[in-house]
Structure 1
Amino acid sequence: MRPRMAVAALGAVAVVAALGACSKNTGDSGGSSDKAQKQSGGIGTAADSKGPAPAVSGAKKGGTIYLIQEKDFEHLDPARIYVNNAQVFGRLIQRQLTAFVDDPKTGKSTLVGDLATDPGKDISNGKCTSWQFTLKDGLKYQDGSPITAKDVAYNVARSFSPDLADGPHYIQQWLADSIDYNKTYKGPYNGGSDTPPGVKVSGQKITFDFKKPHCDMPYAASWGTTAPVPKAKDTKTKYDLNPFSSGPYKIDTYNRDSKIVLSRNKYWDPNTDPLRHDYPDHFEVDMGADGVQQTNRMISSNGNDAYAIMQNSGGVDATLIKKVQGDASLKPQIRAGYTQFTWYLAINNQRIKDLNIRKALNYGLDKKAYIQALGGSAKADPATTLESPTTAGFKKYDAYPYDPAKAKQLLNGKHPKLVYAYTNTSTGQKYATVVKNNLEKIGFQIVLKPIDGASYYTEIGRKNNKYDLYLAGWGSDWPSGSTIIPPVFDGRTIIPQGNNDYSYFNADDINKRIDEINLMAPDKAAPEWAKLDQEIMTKYAPVVPFYYQKEYTLVGKKVGGCDLGLSSGWPEYTSVYAK
C-alpha cells in the first residue's frame, strides 16, 4: 500500500501511516518510563455506534481554540488526506462510514459506525468479500441537506481519479483487485460512472464487493475515502479549499498558507455522532510559527496562546526539551507518549546478501547515541521489533541486543564498505555522522551519500538504487500488523520504482505466511503478525529496528479535553474545550 507522508520528520521526510496508537496522556515528562497503551483494535457494535458521545467532565461551551502550525495542510479534501495533522483536523468537518472512539483513561480504542449504524456487516457468510453499511437517519450537511449513501459512493468514485491520488488506496485496490487500481476505471472525471465498479447503493445502504477476502474493511472505512461528497459541491482538485461539511464545524474563512476559521455547523446532530463534541464556538488555525516559536508560545501561554495547541511534528523542539522537563509548572500542559511509528535502518538486501553482515549491523548499531541526538527519551526509545509497541497483538523481543564485540566477531576481520544515504539537511547531516562514527568503530567503512530531502523517498524507493543503508519509518494505518508487515516486507510488491519495501527483502516462506494471516479475522491475526515480525528478524535480519517514535508536545494552560489520540498519535480536538 502507498505510505502516508508525515507532516515532518527528525531530519527527513517521514513515511508513516496514521491509525496506530499512542499512550494515554499521563502528564509525564516524557522519560523512558513512558509506557505504550496497546490499542485493543476492537470492533464495536451498533449500540457503541450511537450518539451522543459521552460528556467530557468539566467541559463547557464557548470560546475559541487556536491551532498553531508552521505550514498549511497538504490537503483537506477527504479523498486526499493521508497526513496525521489533516486527518485529525478533518474530523471536525468530515465524517466517514466508521471511526475510532478512544478512551484515553483506559487506552482502549473501539471501531464504531460513524455515518453508519454499525462498523459494517460481512454479508458473505464470513468470507469477508462483501461488506454492507447502512447510514444513520438524520445526517445532514452544513446547509441542512441530507447526507446519502450515494454521496459516499461518489467520493469513493472520485478517489480513483489520477488527479486525487494522494490519499490511501486500500479500498480502491480491493475493489479493482489490483495495485494498479485505476488502470481501467478512473473515476467520474474521466468518463466513468459516479458509482465505482464493485460498489452498490440501495437507498441508504452501500455495499462493497471484493473478489478476494478483506477482513479489515471496517478499519479501512475509517479513512476519508468513505466521507460523503455531494456531486453538486465537488470542485475536483479545488475541493481542498472548501470541503462541504458533514461534521460539527464548517469552514467560515480559508486564507491559504495563513489562516482557517471554523464555526459550528448548526445542522450537525450530536445524537448521531458517537465521538465528536462541539464545545468551542470556533477553531482557528494560525500558520507561520516554527517549532521553536510554537514551543515558546505554549510555555508562555499569553493571551490567545493560553487556548492554543501546538502543531509541530514531534512536538516540543529538541532544543527546548530540557527547559520544558525542568519546569514543574508545565507538567499539566504536557502530552507525551508513543506514536504508532517505528523507524528502522533499512539494509538493501539486494546489495548486502551476507546474513552475518546484516546481523553485525543489528548487534553493532548504538541506538541510544542516535536517540540522544534526536532529543533523548522524550522523543524516542530504542526499537527491537518491526511493529510499534502500540500495535494490537504486539510482542516484545530483542533478537540482537547491543553487543559491539559480537558484531566484530560476525565480521570476522572484514571491513565492509557501505554507502549510507541520508537527507541533505543540517539535521540529516548531524544524524548521519552519528551513524557513521558508530558503525566505523566496529569495523565498517561508511561512505555518506546526501540526497535532497524532497526526493529522498523517491530515490531509496528505486529498486536499482546504489545505496546500502538508509533510514525509513513506518506505522500502521489502523491497529493491525496487516498495514505494517505486508507493505514493507512482502517482496512480491517490489517494482522498478515507488517501493515501500525499502530493504528489497523477498522471502517465499514469509510471503506465504503473509497470505495465510491476511485471511484471518483481525483479532486472530494480531498475535500472528507479531510472531511473523519476530521470525523475519531472527531468520533474515533484513533491517535494523532503530527507534520507536514518541510524541512530546504542549497545549496552552487553558485548553481542556485534549489528549493524544489512540487512533492518530496526534493531539485530538473532538473533545477539546476552552477553560
Structure 2
Amino acid sequence: MTGQYGLNPTGCPKEREVLVRRPVRTLSVGILAVVLAAAGCSKNTGDDNATGSDQKATTQTATLADNSDGPAPEVPGAKKGGTVTIYTSGDFEHIDPQQNYVVPAQTTGTNLLYRSLTTYRENGDGKLEVVGDLATNTGEESNGGKTWKFTLKDGLKYEDGTAITAKDVAYGIARSFSPDLPNGPHWWAQWLSGDADYNKTYKGPYNGGALVPPNTQVPDDKTIIFNFPEPHADTPFAAALSTTAPVPQARDTKIQYDNRPFSSGPYKIQTYQRTQKMVLVRNQYWDPKTDPARHDYPDSYVVDFTRTAEQASQLLISDAGAAASSLTFQDMTIPASVYPKAVQSAKDRILTGPDQFVWQINFNTQRVTDLKVRQALNYAIDRQGLLKVWGSYAGDPGTTLLSPTTSGYQKYNAYDGGVTGNVEKAKELLGGKKVTLTYGYRNTERNQAIAAFLKSSFAPIGVNLNIQPIDEDQYYTVIGKKNNQFDMYMYGWGSDWPGAGTVIPPLWDGTRITPEGNNNTAYLNDPKTNAEVARILKLSDLTEQDKAWAALDKDIMTRLAPTIPVIYDKQTTLYGSKIGGIYLSAPYGNSGLNNLYVK
C-alpha cells in the first residue's frame, strides 16, 4: 500500500510489534508463522536524533481467528458520545473502496465506512488476528488453495437498511477491473484473471461487461466462491483489502463514487466538501453483533483537510477546545520545527513507533535511462541531511527496497557514500556531464522542504533538479500514469500483508505496468527481474522464498539502481487528552480508529 504516512494511550508501548505474516502454503492456511519486530520506543527527549533504534526481533505465532462473531470486545473505560476530529494532509485521493490504496483514506474507509470479507482484529496489545468481517470465517479453502468459499453473515445491512448480498461483493470486485477505476490494489483482478494484464478479456461491469468477475460464482445471496487459476494461500489477507467491500449496483456512480461511497460500516458520510472536510455520523443499520472488530463510540468524526502539519501540531499541543478530542494521521508527522515543543508539552500524547513503510526516490526509468546517472545520485544522497528535513525522530536511514519489518529483509548498501553522500564518487560516475532532471513532489510543507534540499544537495555533482509541485490529493494518481512527465519523485510503500511478496512484485515487476494506476512508478521493465519474480512466487518453501526475495532486492539495486531508498518510516503523531482507545495499527502503520472514544 502507498503511504503518506498497541501503543497504549500514554503514547509509548512496552514493545512495538510489527507483524510479518508468512502463510504456510504447504499446510493448512489456518496457522501462520509470524515474525514480530519488537522495536524500542524513543523517549521523546526533544532530541531530533532520537530515533529509537534499539530494536530486536522475536518470533511468535498467530492464527486466523476461529471465531469471527461480533460484537468486538469492549474497550475498558470507553463510552459513547462526542466528536473526534482527524487532521490529515490534504483531501483523500480516493475513498471509493475499489480505488482506496493510500493509508489515511484506507484507515478511514476500512475502520469506519465499509466492511470487507475479512478484516483485522487488534487493540494495540500485540495480538493481531484475521477475522471474518462480512464473512462468517476467514474462508474455506479447497482444490489445493485454488478455490475459496466465503459465506456471508446474517443481518448485514447498508446505511439505508437494505441487505448486503454476495452479489454486491462480487460487483465490488468486478469494479476493480475497470480501466476507469485504476488506482486501487490489483491483487484480486490479477489473481482471478490469472494474468498481470487482467484486462485482456474482461474490463469490469461497465459498458456491458459481466456483473460478476472471472472465475467467480455467486450461487445465492450468502455465498461467493473464487476459483483461482493458481493457488493463493494469502487469500484471507487479500480479502481484508477494501477491494472486497460490497457496492450495490444501483448506488454505483462510477468515478463519482469517490464522492459518496455507500456505507456498510459503523459510520456513513453526512457531508463531504472536497479539500475542506468530511463529516461522518453513525450508520443506524450497522449491527455490532455482526462485527468482530469495530465500535461506534463517538457520535461523529470530522476529517479536517485544511490544516498544515505545523498548524495541527500547535493545536494539539494547546489541547484546547475541539483539539482535545483530535488526532493527526500518519501523513501529519510532527514537523521538526515543532517537535521540541511537542515533547516538552505533550510527550505523553505522542503516538510513535516503527511501521512497515520504506520511502524511496524513484527514477522514472523510461526517462532516466542512463544507469550511471542513477548510480551517481545513489552515491550522492545525503541521508543524514534529508532525515533532518524529514524529522530524524520520524525515521531511520534506509538503503534497501525491503523494510526491516518485512520477511526476507537483509541489510546492505549497494552505493555506500557514507551518511552524507560521496560527491566525488558521484562526479566520477557522471564524468563531467551536466544533467537536468525534473523532480515532482507532493505539495505539502514537508515535501516542499525535501524538494528544496534535494535540489541544493545534488547541485555540487552537476545535477540541476527542476522541482515541480503536484497537488497533494492527486499525487499518486499523477505519478501512477505511465506517461507522466517527471524524472524523479518520492514514493512510500508498505506491504499489504507484511511479507516481501507484497513489496517486490507490485513495485518492480514490469509485466504489471498499465497505462494508469501503477505501483511500479519507476516503470522498471527488466526481463531478468520479471522472470525471477514469477519464479519466486511459485516457491512453496517460505524460507527459500525469503532468501530469494532478499537476493532479488539486492540484485535490482546493484544491477539497475531504479530508485534511491532513503528512509525506514516511523509513525510520530499527536493526539488530544480526551482521546481514548488509540493505538498504532500494525496493518496500516497509522492510528487505529476502531476503538477510539472521547473521554
Q: For 1:541 and 1:367, how far apart are their aligned partners in 2? A: 17
TM-superposed deviation, 1:409: 9.4
8 A Cα contact 1:38 1:389, kept in partner: no
Give the distance between the partners of 1:185 and 1:481, measured in 2 at CA: 29
Partner of residue 322, structure 2: 304
Counterpart position of 2:591: 571
Using the size of structure 1 for normalisation, the TM-score is 0.83
Contact 1:24 1:105 in 2 (8 A): no
Residue matched to 2:140? 121
Cα distance in 1 for residues equivalent to 2:158 and 2:187: 26
Map Cα deviations across residues 9-44 of structure 1 (whole Å, 9 max, x no partner).
xxxxxxxxxx99998895843821156798999773
Post-superposition Cα deviations, 1:536-574, rounded to whole Å, max 9, x if no partner, equal 335554433211233211111110111221111221110
Cα distance change of structure 1 residues 25 and 99 upon mapping to structure 2, 3 Å threshold: farther
Aligned with residue 222 of structure 1, among 229, 236, 240? 240
Q: Is 2:64 the counterpart of 1:45?
A: yes
> Does the residue aligned with 2:590 lie in a helix, a strand or coil?
coil
Aligned to 2:129: 110
Contact 1:348 1:469 in 2 (8 A): yes
Q: Structure 2: give runs of 5+ residues left out of the alignment.
A: 6-19, 22-35
2:588 partner amino acid: S
* Counterpart-to-counterpart distance in 2, 1:104 and 1:423: 36
Residue 131 (structure 1) aligned with residue 148 (structure 2):
yes
> Structure 2 vs 1, CA of residues 343 and 40 (structure 1 numbering), >3 Å: closer, same or farther?
farther
SS at match of 2:400: coil
Q: Relative to structure 1, is the Cα distance of residues 234 and 467 closer, same or farther in structure 2, using a 3 angstrom cutoff?
A: closer
Shift in alpha-carbon separation, 1:260–1:506, aligned structure 2, 3 A: closer
1:562 aligns with 2:579: no
TM-score, structure 2 normalization: 0.80
Give the C-alpha shift of residue 467 in structure 1: 7.6
Residue 431 of structure 1 aligns with which residue?
Answer: 450
2:283 is aligned with 1:265: yes
**Within-5 A mapping of 1:138-537:** 138-182=155-199, 184-203=201-220, 204-311=222-329, 313-325=331-343, 327=344, 329-347=345-363, 361-374=377-390, 376-403=391-418, 408=425, 411=428, 414-423=431-440, 430-432=449-451, 434-435=453-454, 437-439=456-458, 444-454=461-471, 470-493=489-512, 500-503=519-522, 505-520=524-539, 524=543, 525-526=545-546, 528-537=548-557
Task: Give how far 1:4 is off.
Answer: 4.4
* Contact 2:121–2:292 (8 Å) recurs in 1: yes
Q: Residues 54-93 of structure 1 correspond to what in structure 2 (within 5 A)?
A: 54-69=73-88, 71-90=90-109, 91-93=111-113
Partners of 1:40 and 1:224 lie apart in 2 by: 29
Partner of residue 14, structure 1: none
How far did residue 330 of structure 1 move? 0.6
Which is further off, 303-312 or 229-238? Answer: 229-238
Please say which of residues 164-173 and 27-36 is displaced more in the overlay: 27-36
> CA–CA distance in 2 between the matches of 1:543 and 1:259?
35
Counterpart for residue 546 of structure 1 = 566
Aligned-pair CA distance for 1:115: 1.4
1:522 & 1:216 partners in 2: Cα distance? 14
Taking only the aligned residue pairs, the percentage that are identical comes to: 44
Deviations along 1:105-127, one digit per CA (max 9) or x if unpaired, are 33x5433322122222332224x
Deviation of residue 332 (structure 1)?
1.6
Distance 1:495 1:566, change over 3 A: closer
Q: Please state whether the residue corresponding to 1:319 is helix, strand or coil.
A: coil
Shift of 1:102: 3.1
For the structure 1 residues 95 and 545, does the alpha-carbon distance in structure 2 shift closer, same or farther, using more than 3 Å as the test? same
Measured at CA, do residues 369 and 273 of structure 1 come closer, stay the same or move farther in structure 2, by a change above 3 Å?
same
Match 1:96 to one of 116, 123, 126: 116
1:377 deviation in Å? 1.1
Aligned equivalents of 1:24 and 1:466: distance in 2? 39
| Residue pair 1:216, 1:522 contacting (<8 A) in 2 also | no
**Cα distance in 2 for residues equivalent to 1:47 and 1:451:** 51
Between the two proteins, the alignment pairs up a number of residues equal to 558
Cα distance, 1:413–1:27 mapped onto 2, change above 3 Å? closer
Q: Is the 8 A contact 1:357 1:411 kept in 2?
A: no
The letter of the residue matching 1:95 is R
State the distance in 1 between where 2:510 and 2:356 align: 23
Q: Does the aligned pair in 1 maintain the 2:440–2:488 contact within 8 Å?
A: no
Q: What do the CA deviations read for 1:219-246 (whole angstroms, capped 9, x no partner)?
A: 2221222112233444444444443332
Task: Report which stretch shifted further, 213-222 or 251-260.
Answer: 251-260
For structure 1, which segment, 314-323 or 525-534, has the greater mean C-alpha deviation from structure 2 after superposition? 525-534
| Aligned-pair Cα RMSD in Å | 3.8
Specify the SS of the correspondent of 1:369: helix
Describe the superposition over 1:85-143 as per-residue Cα deviations: whole angstroms up to 9, x where unpaired.
2211112121101112335233x5433322122222332224xx322222223333334
User: What is the CA–CA distance in structure 2 between the aligned matches of 1:540 and 1:165, rounded to whole Å?
Assistant: 27
User: Residue 41 of structure 2 contacts residue 52 of structure 2 at CA under 8 Å; is this kept in 1?
Assistant: no
Classify 1:356/1:33 alpha carbon distance in 2 versus 1 (closer, same or farther; 3 Å): same
2:39 and 2:53 in contact (8 A); partners too: no
Which digits, 9 at most, give the CA deviation of each residue in 1:358-380, with x for residues without a partner? Answer: 55544442210111122x31232
